Amino acid sequence: MREVKTAVDDSPLIAIGLPIALAIIMFGLGLSLTVRDFRRVAASPRAVVVALGLQVLVLPVIAFGLVTAFDLDPLLAVGVMLLAASPGGTTASLFSHLFRGDVALNITLTAVNSVLAAATIPLITNFAIGHFGAEGELGLQFGKVLQVIAIVLVPVVLGMVVRSRAASFAERADKPVRVFSIVVLVVVAVGALLGERENIGDYVRDVGAVTGLFCLLSLTLGYFGARVMRLSEGQSIASSMEVGVHNTTVALTIALSVLDNTEVAVPSAVYSIMMYVLATAFGVLITRTHAKAATPPALT
């Protein structure tokens, strides 16, 4: 078992720049949300409850089973659990739109889960730290929990307030913030991997299979779990993308700037690359399968 180590230096880029970048991203998310998105929960409560139940309750259990089965290094195990606790990202809505999912449901789920994440991330991460023996200064103590809330929840609320008072500004800012989000994700993911370049081969070998399986299981669970609960095809696709496409920038920022550990960030960095490929492949597969099933047989 490796000892807990601080793998990130205290450079202003990591300590200050990264949380500010995430706050801007979450502010941008808030600019795309309205109170109606939360009211929509009452309009389709079953779809919201099913998808959130899968994401908040079932995903951490799956992640725990995978890291236990693969006997991951404690820090990598904590990283996978942190990934499982991170909310769905705004990219989930883009995938849902691409594969004809219920985008309105995605927006609602992202809004609600971004609020819940302020509580679920500390709970699940602290459980993982204690269970896997990655103790020391790695824990999310009260002050760090407040830091998570400050960079995840507060900017979303501020963004919603701005949208309510300046809708035209919110619409103009949407595309730049989305581009900024992608750039930050790429830079941080690559930076996290380069930060552990001496061990990157071992880490990818250790965590690549786990993150790949976790992504596939998340997408599958989101879709078929929704179908079992008799949600529509569009709602099931939305659920699949919301459960499978995480806001890995949140997980990366917490690992690097709050927990101050690069190794914990590795699973999210690897996942952030794999999820785009796997989500696209999964979306193509389920839409083609549904199209074939909906096509009536040719008359002879």
Backbone angles phi, psi at 226, to 5 degrees: -70, -40
Separation of alpha carbons 14 and 108, rounded Å: 31
Break the chain into its structural domains and give their ranges.
12-287
Question: Which positions ≥6 away from 91 have C-beta within 8 Å?
Answer: 245
Tell me the β-bridge partners of 88: 246
Q: Which amino acid is at 117?
A: A
The separation between CA 52 and the C-alpha centre of its own chain, rounded to angstroms, equals 13
Are the C-beta atoms of 80 and 215 separated by less than 8 Å? no
Separation of alpha carbons 227 and 194, rounded Å: 40
Separation of alpha carbons 74 and 82, rounded Å: 12
The pTM for the full model equals: 0.79
Check residue 2 and give its pLDDT: 45
CATH 1.20.1530.20 for the 12-287 domain, yes or no: yes
Check residue 257 and give its pLDDT: 79
- What pLDDT, in 10s, does the model give residues 124-170? 998 998 898 876 555 666 676 777 777 777 888 888 888 888 888 88
Check residue 193 and give its pLDDT: 64
Between the two ends of the chain, the Cα-to-Cα distance in Å is: 66
Question: Which positions ≥6 away from 147 have C-beta within 8 Å?
Answer: 19, 258
Check residue 107 and give its pLDDT: 80
Angle at 20 between CA 17 and CA 24, to 5 degrees: 135
How many other CB atoms sit within 10 Å of the CB of residue 8? 21
- For 275, the token pair is 């999820």
How many other CB atoms sit within 10 Å of the CB of residue 151? 23
Low-confidence ranges of the chain (pLDDT < 50): 1-10
